[in-house]
């Protein structure tokens, strides 16, 4: 079967023509708008129509919490009126509206508004209020206290086997809030109410089973999924524990002594003292002032972390405001006109409070080197001073954009919970306090992949689980870590229980755990390239099988497996082997052939296979013809860029990959500062050709030359290996792994490198 590379096809001109994104504009092209009395329709794509009703004829052209761009190229469509009905027709949808009526009525057999589309050759009719039992779900705000399968918590998503889905901007969210409007003001775009509170505002998505196009178009109107900085894809060490500065220095030193890669050291809530009393015995969740009994010199400590090439974050629980004994309280009180020496109430929905609070309370911490903020759970569900405003969404919006505006030297992001549709613009998600059990672990692959159905592609879980009863289970922790290799963010964590251990070097199976961490770092060139793909295409790195195989029932049934980027199928072990030291796992392999990394075997697809895996092995598979870039062993992503790139070539008739690089931690990637290096393989009979093309694009600090190691998988002993471009090279055959290894010395990134192998 001929391998088709999705990355090169879908990115198109972005790859090599340096195409730049258009600015978001909430005002639609007038040519896309059809108005009929109190109704307004906006044809955004052939499959996507906005439907508004306002008995005051007050239609909204401002950005909403969900939709920030409506100025798309106008698709071809026709309009007509006949027998009292308005008809709008694209090549995908046929809309019919009974002129002069309210769009929602109680008669599904004769609706005032309906849209017809075809799904697998069958006409499907939607009308307002129609229930959809086949929605493929989205995500939920938090997994706090989750144990096992809690899919009933999930909100509806943007995809459905029915072929259609609805964004209802007036439907209350799970926290009771609404999707409100932005006022268009400078700085952080601020909240505003709708002009007509009784209006209707729907977006009808009629994409059939073209799930990828639905998500791509969603990010065209709702904003792109930002690309996180490279270091965030590395290992985060985190635990809720009363660590001192010396404790944390010891942890970093132990990690380095044990040759464990690390990029982020998380400082949980005990960094601050008791906000009410000023005591170092912290019993308050909310606090803003360093506990000097634990951290006598915070600036020096953070500087030391940075000298170790580590980033750090502080945990915040903002809800209780600012107490009188906090550092800088008097300055903030004077700014806000508070004179009674009372607690300054939390009021982030007020722009003046936001600006002065950040200036007096948070900016000093940022100025000594705090890299980003972890917003934890203690905020109220609904803001106190603005009707219908959800505080989770609003905190995410404000903190993200404050960082974007005021810290332009780095990519903006926060670490916080899901606040509803539109939150994909504010990564990264913190999923909360799950239980440490195998059933809870077994739910993680489904939960994480399904979140991509609303574009929320960067959940960061508590690897290992948060709450546990009983002793530390080395097998369970190992399987959590192995799942973490193939999850968006690799962060270990647990609650403040001294019996819970998260220092992997203290476990008896530490060598196996270390291999999982090293595999994560090896795959980072692939992961980061797929993160760029998410930014360009709206398709998250962890996504369900049905994106690629929508007409296969197995793609919906095998929920414990998922695509990890375009070319890796992951099916991590999430159950105990009960002491047997090996586990059977049933994996559905779609059409084609799949290379099983654990065994080195090439397996036929279009079947479900039950395979056995040791505790050290992870079931994951390369798509036929896949090219997977790897880093050599590294200890950190913030040190010098590796000058060697390892390329794994899965067998297949052909394959392509475009390896992505940029400046790693600024926003220049949005305006053309990046490169792609095209890599291909072709096989004809017993001859295989591998080509690395000259790099395209540029960015400041890009490498001028690079060495390569080509690993040709599932191959027989070659009769010849030719270096046709004239470069020197050596090769060897690893018989026990059926692998040809070709080593190419460092050479300019502008060269064409060609290797021909005859078996």
Non-local (6+) Cβ contacts of 750 within 8 A are: 694, 695
DSSP E strands: which ranges in 488-541?
490-492
Which two three-digit tokens encode residue 506?
């203290």
pTM, full prediction:
0.97
Task: Note the Cα 590 to chain centre separation in Å.
Answer: 24
DSSP state of 356: H
Q: Tell me the three state secondary structure of residue 237.
A: strand
Region of residue 56 (left: phi > 0; alpha: psi -120 to 50; beta: else): alpha
Answer positive or negative: Cα dihedral of 285, 288, 292, 295.
positive
Which two three-digit tokens encode residue 384?
């106190």
Secondary structure tally for the chain: helices H, strands E: 14, 38
- Tens of pLDDT, residue by residue over 69-96, are 999 999 999 999 999 999 999 999 999 9
3-state DSSP of 131-196: CCCCECCCCCCCCCCCCCCCHHHCCCCCCECCCCEEEECCCCCCCCCCCCEECCCCCCCCEECCCC
Judge residue 487's burial from the number of C-beta atoms within 10 Å of its C-beta, 0-12 exposed, 13-18 middle, 19 or more buried: buried
Non-local (6+) Cβ contacts of 120 within 8 A are: 208, 209, 551
Q: Topology of 640-758 in CATH?
A: Immunoglobulin-like (2.60.40)
- What residues are paired with 744 via a beta bridge? 708
Helices (DSSP H) in 243-287: which residue ranges?
245-257
DSSP state of 416: B
Which two three-digit tokens encode residue 464?
């290992």
Nearest to 234 by CA among 533, 636, 531: 636
User: In the sheet where 78-82 sits, what is the strand order?
Assistant: 78-82, 85-89, 93-98, 113-119, 122-126
Which two three-digit tokens encode residue 287?
């606090």
> Virtual CA dihedral for 123, 124, 126, 129, nearest 10 degrees?
150
Which two three-digit tokens encode residue 440?
């809870």
Give 1-58 as a DSSP string. -----HHHHHHTHHHHH---PPPP-SSPPGGGEEEETTEEEEEEETTEEEEEE-TT--
Residue ranges for the chain with pLDDT beneath 50: 1-19
Q: Tell me the three state secondary structure of residue 497.
A: coil
Q: Is the CB of residue 484 less than 8 Å from the CB of residue 452?
A: no
Q: Is the CB of residue 492 less than 8 Å from the CB of residue 504?
A: yes
Q: How far separated are the first and last CA of the chain, in Å rounded? A: 20
- Tens of pLDDT, residue by residue over 544-574, are 999 999 999 999 999 999 999 999 999 999 9
Q: Is the CB of residue 720 less than 8 Å from the CB of residue 660?
A: no
Nearest to 680 by CA among 669, 666, 694, 667: 694
Q: Is the CB of residue 399 less than 8 Å from the CB of residue 185?
A: no
Nearest to 755 by CA among 686, 681, 655, 705: 681
Give 682-698 as a DSSP string. EEETTEEEEEEPPPEEE
With tokens 């497996």, the residue in question is 561
Which two three-digit tokens encode residue 334?
């004077």
DSSP state of 234: S
Give the number of other CB atoms < 10 A from CB of residue 589: 22
Nearest to 608 by CA among 672, 671, 543, 557: 557
DSSP state of 598: T
Which two three-digit tokens encode residue 198?
């009784």
Q: Tell me the three state secondary structure of residue 247.
A: helix
Q: Tell me the three state secondary structure of residue 477.
A: helix
Which two three-digit tokens encode residue 491?
């962060």
- At residue 66, what are phi and psi to the nearest 5 degrees? -95, -50
Q: Is the CB of residue 476 less than 8 Å from the CB of residue 438?
A: yes
Judge residue 401's burial from the number of C-beta atoms within 10 Å of its C-beta, 0-12 exposed, 13-18 middle, 19 or more buried: middle
Gap between the Cα atoms of 337 and 468, Å rounded: 47
With tokens 């026990």, the residue in question is 736
pLDDT at 108: 87
pLDDT at 379: 79
- Give the β-pairing of 674-684 and 696-698: antiparallel
């Amino acid at each position: 079967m001929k391998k088709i590379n999705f990355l090169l096809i879908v990115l198109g001109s972005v790859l090599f023509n340096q195409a730049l994104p258009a600015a978001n504009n909430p005002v639609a092209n007038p040519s896309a708008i059809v108005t009929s009395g109190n109704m307004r329709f906006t044809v955004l794509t052939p499959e996507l129509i906005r439907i508004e009703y306002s008995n005051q004829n007050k239609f909204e052209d401002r950005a909403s919490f969900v939709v920030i761009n409506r100025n798309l190229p106008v698709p071809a469509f026709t309009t007509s009126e006949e027998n009292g009905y308005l008809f709008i027709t694209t090549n995908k949808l046929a809309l019919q509206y009974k002129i002069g009526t309210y769009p929602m009525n109680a008669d599904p057999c004769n609706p005032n508004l309906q849209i017809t589309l075809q799904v697998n050759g069958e006409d499907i009719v939607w009308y307002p209020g129609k229930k959809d039992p086949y929605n493929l779900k989205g995500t939920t705000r938090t997994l706090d206290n989750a144990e096992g399968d809690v899919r009933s918590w999930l909100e509806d998503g943007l995809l459905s086997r029915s072929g259609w889905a609805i964004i209802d901007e007036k439907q209350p969210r799970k926290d009771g809030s609404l999707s409100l409007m932005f006022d268009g003001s400078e700085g952080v775009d601020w909240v505003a109410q709708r002009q007509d509170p009784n209006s209707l505002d729907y977006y009808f998505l009629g994409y059939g089973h073209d799930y990828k196009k639905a998500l791509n178009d969603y990010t065209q109107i709702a904003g792109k999924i930002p690309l996180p900085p490279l270091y965030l894809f590395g290992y985060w060490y985190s635990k809720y524990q009363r660590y001192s500065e010396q404790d944390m220095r010891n942890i970093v030193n132990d990690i380095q002594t044990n040759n464990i890669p690390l990029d982020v050291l998380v400082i949980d809530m005990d960094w601050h003292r008791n906000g009410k009393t000023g005591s170092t015995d912290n019993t308050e969740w909310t606090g803003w002032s360093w506990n000097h009994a634990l951290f006598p010199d915070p600036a020096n400590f953070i500087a030391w972390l940075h000298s170790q090439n580590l980033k750090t974050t502080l945990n915040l629980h903002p809800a209780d405001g600012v107490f009188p004994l906090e550092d800088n309280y008097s300055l903030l009180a004077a700014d806000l006109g508070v004179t009674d020496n009372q607690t300054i109430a939390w009021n982030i929905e007020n722009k003046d409070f936001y600006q002065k609070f950040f200036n007096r309370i948070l900016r000093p911490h940022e100025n000594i080197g705090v890299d980003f903020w972890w917003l934890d759970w203690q905020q109220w569900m609904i803001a106190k001073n603005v009707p219908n405003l959800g505080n989770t969404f609003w905190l995410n919006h404000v903190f993200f954009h404050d960082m974007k505006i005021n810290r332009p030297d780095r990519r903006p992001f926060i670490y916080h919970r899901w606040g509803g549709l539109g939150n994909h613009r504010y990564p990264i998600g913190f999923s909360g306090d799950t239980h440490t059990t195998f059933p809870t672990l077994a739910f993680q692959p489904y939960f994480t992949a399904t979140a991509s159905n609303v574009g929320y592609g960067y959940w960061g879980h508590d690897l290992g689980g948060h709450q546990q009863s009983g002793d530390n289970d080395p097998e369970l922790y190992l399987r959590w870590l192995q799942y973490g290799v193939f999850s968006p963010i690799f962060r270990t964590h647990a609650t403040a229980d001294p019996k819970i251990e998260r220092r992997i070097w203290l476990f008896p199976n530490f060598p196996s755990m270390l291999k999982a961490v090293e595999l994560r770092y090896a795959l980072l060139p692939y992961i980061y390239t797929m993160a760029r793909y998410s930014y360009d295409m709206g398709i998250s790195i962890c996504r369900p099988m049905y994106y690629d195989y929508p007409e296969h029932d197995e793609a919906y049934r095998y929920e414990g497996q998922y695509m990890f980027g375009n070319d890796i199928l992951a099916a991590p072990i999430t159950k105990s082997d009960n002491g047997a030291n090996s586990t059977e796992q049933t994996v559905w392999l779609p059409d084609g052939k799949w290379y099983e990394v654990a065994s080195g075997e090439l397996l036929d697809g279009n079947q479900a296979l039950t395979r056995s895996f040791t505790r050290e092995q992870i079931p994951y598979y390369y798509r036929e013809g896949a090219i997977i870039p790897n880093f050599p062993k590294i200890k950190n992503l913030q040190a010098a860029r590796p000058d060697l790139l390892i390329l794994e070539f899965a067998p297949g008739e052909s394959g392509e990959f475009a390896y992505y690089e940029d400046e790693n931690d600024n926003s220049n990637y949005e305006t053309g500062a990046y490169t792609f290096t095209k890599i291909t393989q072709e096989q004809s009979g017993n001859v295989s050709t591998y080509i690395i093309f000259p790099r395209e694009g540029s960015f400041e600090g890009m490498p001028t030359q690079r060495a390569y190691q080509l690993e040709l998988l599932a191959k027989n002993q070659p009769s010849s290996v030719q270096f046709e471009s004239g470069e020197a090279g050596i090769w060897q055959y690893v018989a026990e792994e059926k692998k040809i290894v070709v080593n190419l010395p460092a050479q300019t990134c502008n060269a064409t490198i060609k290797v021909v192998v005859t078996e």
